[in-house]
């Protein structure tokens, strides 16, 4: 089991007692895609933020490869669990040209790269040299989301929380991103948590789905992962 939660609970400090995530028991196996499906405000993104170590649960426990972890993550946990947001602008410094943002993970994790290897790598994501000298505001939503994904996959995480990764994008870009994710998973055995309010997408991508209602996560079975 790559990720497992026990009674994870979260109340926002200013929420007057409302429980955003209510005793969630979630499990994720290696190479698996699990869906979190539910209406707006049901608590999906809050759970995603907890799993990614960006907020600390009010109570409950989280394990990564059997080891108890708590935010902020360090070492293998930090590298191993990543999140891709619906709005990729969140992950980029608006003042930096893309080249600076794309080299960041290589520098942080001391991974080898060269300018030409980076260019070759980015081609796979439909990104070219001209894009590298633009700031996030000078790129389209689809280009920026592909850059965000390329940056995450460069560090070879074990788990990626995908929080509505394509809901702002046109259908062609949606399919491109989903295909990149599926292809990467089949080669690297990465695990995904796919947050979506699109039932069809969840059923297409996920082996298992948790239905989320008012902070309560209930497991149900979708169709087998279409790999």
Residue 129 or 213: the one with the smaller Cβ distance to ligand ATP is 213
Residues from 182 through 201 that contact ligand ATP (CB under 6 A): 197
| 41 belongs to the binding site for ligand ATP (CB under 6 A) | yes
Tokens 């948790």 correspond to 210
Number of H helices, E strands in the chain: 8, 11
Interface pick for ligand ATP out of 5, 32, 35, 44 (rule CB under 6 A) = 44
| Bridge partner residues of 25 (DSSP) | none
Sequence-distant (≥ 6) Cβ neighbours of residue 217 within 8 angstroms:
21, 24, 25, 26, 36, 43, 47, 210, 211
| 128 belongs to the binding site for ligand ATP (CB under 6 A) | no
State in Å, rounded, how far the first CA of the chain is from the last one.
20
For the CB of residue 49, give the shortest distance to ligand ATP in the complex, in Å: 8
| 40 belongs to the binding site for ligand ATP (CB under 6 A) | yes
HSE-up (13 A, CA, CB side) for residue 2: 22
For the CB of residue 155, give the shortest distance to Mg ion in the complex, in Å: 24
Burial 179-196, CB ≥16 within 10 A → b, else e: ebbbebbeeeebbbbbbb
Interface pick for ligand ATP out of 2, 3, 20, 162 (rule CB under 6 A) = 20
Residues from 52 through 111 that contact ligand ATP (CB under 6 A): none
Interface pick for ligand ATP out of 32, 37, 43, 84 (rule CB under 6 A) = 43
| 116 belongs to the binding site for ligand ATP (CB under 6 A) | no
Interface pick for ligand ATP out of 5, 33, 45, 91 (rule CB under 6 A) = 45
Q: Is 106 exposed, middle or buried (0-12, 13-18, 19+ CB in 10 A)?
A: middle
Residue 69 or 212: the one with the smaller Cβ distance to Mg ion is 212
Q: Which residues bind ligand ATP (CB under 6 A)?
A: 12, 14-15, 20, 38, 40-46, 197
């Amino acid at each position: 089991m790559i990720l497992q939660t026990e009674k994870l609970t979260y109340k926002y400090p200013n929420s007057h007692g409302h429980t955003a995530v209510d005793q969630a028991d979630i499990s994720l196996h290696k190479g698996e895609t699990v869906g979190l499906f539910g209406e707006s405000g049901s608590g999906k993104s809050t759970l995603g933020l907890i799993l990614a170590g960006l907020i600390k649960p009010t109570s409950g426990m989280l394990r990564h490869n059997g080891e108890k972890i708590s935010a902020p993550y360090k070492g293998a946990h930090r590298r191993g669990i990543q999140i891709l947001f619906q709005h990729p602008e969140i992950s980029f410094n608006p003042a930096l040209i893309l080249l600076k943002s794309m080299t960041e993970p290589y520098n942080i994790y001391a991974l080898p790269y060269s300018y030409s290897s980076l260019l070759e790598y980015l081609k796979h994501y439909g990104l070219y040299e001209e894009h590298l000298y633009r700031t996030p505001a000078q790129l389209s939503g689809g280009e920026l989301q592909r850059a965000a994904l390329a940056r995450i996959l460069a560090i070879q995480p074990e788990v990626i929380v995908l929080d509505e990764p394509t809901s702002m994008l046109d259908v062609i870009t949606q399919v491109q991103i989903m295909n990149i994710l599926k292809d990467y998973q089949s080669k690297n055995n990465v695990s995904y948590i796919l947050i979506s309010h699109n039932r069809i997408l969840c059923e297409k991508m996920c082996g298992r789905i948790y239905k989320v209602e008012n902070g309560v996560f209930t497991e149900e079975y979708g169709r087998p992962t279409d790999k």
